[in-house]
Homo-oligomer: A and B are copies of this chain.
Amino acid sequence: MSYKIKSRIWIESDKHVLLGEGRVQLLKAIDKTGSLSKAAKALNISYKKAWNLLDSVNKSAKKPVTINSIGGKGGGGAELTDYGKSLILAFDEINKNCWEFLDKQLEKIENL
C-alpha cells in the first residue's frame, strides 16, 4: 500500500476559469458530435450545465473557442475553432507533464 499524488490543473483568465478537466472533456465531445446538446448527452450531463460551461469558456477566452450556430440545416450546431483545438491539445500536454512531474516527487513522501 502506497501513497499517490493527484492533481487538478486549470487555466484562469482574469479570475475566471477558462479551461479545466470538465471543460476540456466537453470541448472534445463537441468536436466529436458537432453539437452542444449531443455532447451533453454523451457526457451524461444536463444541457444547461453544458451550456453554462461552454458560455463561460467563450466569455473568458481571448479568442472564440467554438462557433455556435442557431437554426438552419439540422437546427444548428457547435464546432471548435482552430484556437479551441490547439487549446485542448496544449492543456492535455501540460496536464500529462504535470502528472509525470508529480510522480517523480512521490518518493519525498513515501519514505518519511
Which A positions have Cβ atoms within 8 angstroms of B? Answer: 1-14, 18, 62, 83, 86-87, 90-91, 93-94, 97-98, 101-102, 105, 108-109, 112
- Quote the shortest CB–CB distance from A62 to chain B (angstroms): 8
Given contacts A3-B11, A3-B12, A7-B7, contact A109 B97 (CB under 8 A): no
The 5 closest A-B pairs by CB, nearest first: A7-B9, A94-B105, A8-B8, A4-B12, A90-B108
Query: Main SS of chain A's interface residues?
Result: mixed
Given contacts A90-B109, A112-B83, A112-B90, contact A6 B9 (CB under 8 A): yes
Residues of B within 8 A of A108 (CB): 90, 93-94
